[in-house]
Amino acid sequence: METKRVAVLGSNSFSGSDFIDLLLDEGCEVVGLSRSPEKSALFLPYRRKPQPRFRFHQADLNRDTARILEILDGFEPHFVVNFAAQSEVAPSWEHPEQWFETNAVALAKLVNRLKDRKYVKRYVHISSPEVYGTCVGTVTETAPLNPSTPYAASKAAADLFLSTMSKNFGFPLVTIRATNVYGAHQQLFKVIPRTVIYLELGKRIQLHGGGVAVKSYIHIRDVSRGELAAMERGKPGSIYHFSPDRGWAVRDVVRLICERTGRDFEASTERVGERPGQDAAYVIDSTRARSEFGWMPGVSFQDGVKGVIDWVKGNWDAIRQEPLDYVHRP
């Protein structure tokens, strides 16, 4: 059988890098593209071992459309999987136009040209459940879009544009919406690694709104497995959800980490005001992925959290040298 060729846009991202690691384990040939230089093995799991079937190119989705297309034309991937996005919610209020430039405008420029490339069997778009706004009940893939932040609005705009390309040109689109992804190698400002790091440093953890917002945490490798199944077997035009069986309030996540590291929860936390546009819960239904692919979450939350704790402690000297706050790049 012909080796699968996969192009991953946003290869330096947490989700993109884990997906690449899985693809290489599956014997695929992979090209990765990101706007920043390739990161170290601390954040890119695929760099822990030699990878002769992987090539990296530094290219910016906002500025390098022609070069990205040149790279793709030279590689002729069977699959293009796009993780590239401005993905943080809170900073999107400060410069919303930058989120739209990357998540909607730059994507539209690329896909408008990519739709004519016959080598693409499937284009996998990584969306977000934030496009639904606050979830009431269990939300299926047919729920209306109701974004409540600039980030979510920019992702919804992209989703709607891609849907028109699928309907009008037969563009082989598959859309993914996964809930709160976590795991080792994640950005350090995310709540689970940040909590572990703050406890190690003896710093108090801020609980926005008291930490009552419920998140549906799902391990990164479970999501990567689902994305691989959708890439290979997803129906063009379909949306697939990847979500766990239950949600966790942020305060309960922090409490679990405190217990696992022998810290006192009350002494280690403080309540602060809620973030603007914070959705109360994400509870999305993943029945379609479970029935079509036989997909199921395989990593328990307790085991996944232990993996993050072990990763932080095992790489403590390197992690201490890294910035702990989000650094925005326009």
Question: What pLDDT was estimated at residue 135?
Answer: 67
Task: Express each pLDDT in 37-94 by its tens digit.
Answer: 999 999 999 999 889 999 999 999 999 999 999 999 999 999 999 999 998 888 999 9
Select from 28, 57, 47, 308 the least CA-distant residue to 194: 308
147 by DSSP, 3-state: which? Answer: coil
| Per-residue pLDDT at 273 exceeds 90 | no
Q: What is the DSSP string of 201-261?
A: HTPPEEEEGGG--EE-EEEHHHHHHHHHHHHHHPPTT-EEEE--SS-EEHHHHHHHHHHHH
pLDDT of residue 280: 58
Q: Which CATH architecture best describes the domain 187-215+248-282+300-319?
A: Alpha-Beta Complex (3.90)
Strand-pairing partners, residue 56, are 32
Asked if residues 244 and 216 have their Cβ atoms less than 8 Å apart, the reply is yes
**Over the stretch 203-251, which tens digit does the pLDDT of each residue have?**
999 998 899 888 899 999 999 999 999 999 999 999 999 999 888 999 9
How far is Cα 1 from Cα 120, in angstroms, rounded to an integer? 18
Query: Can you give the pTM of this predicted structure?
Result: 0.94
pLDDT at position 213, please?
84
Q: Are strands 248-249 and 214-215 parallel, antiparallel or unpaired?
A: antiparallel
Domains of the chain, residue spans = 5-181+216-242, 187-215+248-282+300-319
The helix-helix angle for 107-114 and 150-169 (nearest 10°) equals: 10
31 pLDDT band (50/70/90 cuts)? very high
Residues 27, 40: Cα–Cα separation, whole Å: 22
| CATH number of this structure's domain 5-181+216-242 | 3.40.50.720
Taking CA atoms, 106 is separated from 38, 101, 102, 116, in Å, by 21, 6, 5, 17
